Amino acid sequence: MNSVITLTLQDSYFLFTMLTILLTRFFVYMFPKPSPTIKNFRTHHWMFGLVFTIFLFLIKTFYTNIYLLAIGMGIFFDEIGFILLKGKTHEDNYSPSSFIILFCFLVFLFLFRETIVHFYL
């Protein structure tokens, strides 16, 4: 009996976003390093993820790549709890509240993955 699992593009998008979040969490936890500061403004990786995601939507008329979108959104969503809780420290990003918020956003992302992919493509 041959069983082959076939993923839709929407499922691949969701899995790539999850993988990005897991890898980002792993590296930030294992190698905690302050983000760059530009003229007394401290950047965070969520900012780069947001800018990258917006950029991908701006150029979608010319170029689309659902996996790059998943990476950009994953980097952004990784710190969604930190953002909403107005976190200040590394520990704030790994607090139970932050993980609960991240989980809620992942459920939202899973439920609306088809809509997101359709809107992007």
What is the DSSP-derived secondary structure letter of residue 9?
H
User: For 27-79, how does the pLDDT look when each residue is reduced to its tens digit (9 = 90+)?
Assistant: 988 988 878 888 888 888 899 999 999 999 999 999 999 999 999 999 999 99
The answer to whether 78 and 21 have CB atoms below 8 angstroms apart is: yes
Q: Is 59 helix (H, G, I), strand (E, B) or coil?
A: coil
> Is 78 a domain residue?
yes
User: What is the domain count for the chain?
Assistant: 1
Number of residues in the chain: 121
> Is 80 a domain residue?
yes
> Is 4 a domain residue?
no
> Is 2 a domain residue?
no
pLDDT band at 1 (very low <50, low <70, confident <90, very high): low
> Is 34 a domain residue?
no
User: For 8-17, how does the pLDDT look when each residue is reduced to its tens digit (9 = 90+)?
Assistant: 999 999 999 9
Domain extent at residue 50: 9-28+40-120
